[in-house]
Structure 1
Amino acid sequence: MALKINALARLLLPKINIQTTIARKYRSQKNGRKKALQSGANVIMLSITNARYHELYKFKINATPLKIYINFKKMLREIGNDISP
């Protein structure tokens, strides 16, 4: 349902920012962020929090900020996008 709302919002309001968060990655089905980007989201919120604080998260993050960035950049290339400077 959320992906349909993303797509509808993108069509009706093409200049707005629609974000995909860390929760999208962990709560939704496989490739949740990728699907959100393909359905109209255009802002990604990455977690670059210091590893010692990861224990406080409900969804555990098992990667360093650099690894998260590299994986994110790879995912963007898979869908034909890139990070804008």
Structure 2
Amino acid sequence: MKRVLMAVLLSLVVVGCGEKKPTYPIYTLAEKRKLYREAEKNNDEKKIKELEELKNRLELEWKKNNDATAFEEYADWDAVLKGL
């Protein structure tokens, strides 16, 4: 009986905690391309630098926390910033 009670309590804790929301912005691939094109078109070095910093932050999140969403975002930004 104790094991059943402990299993139920443990499962409630796991379900109650849930998945944390990311601390970084998430854009669609089209939005990423649009942001980069606008920055490139206007020769906005500050905005391009911000996008590169975001890419680096995503890489750190991915490697530090093994975050799959951060990896996908990083891969998208890497491709966009390289012009692929």
Work out whether the TM-score is over 0.5.
Answer: no
More strand by share: 1
Whichever of the two has the greater Rg, that structure is 2
TM-score by length of 2: 0.32
TM-score by length of 1: 0.32
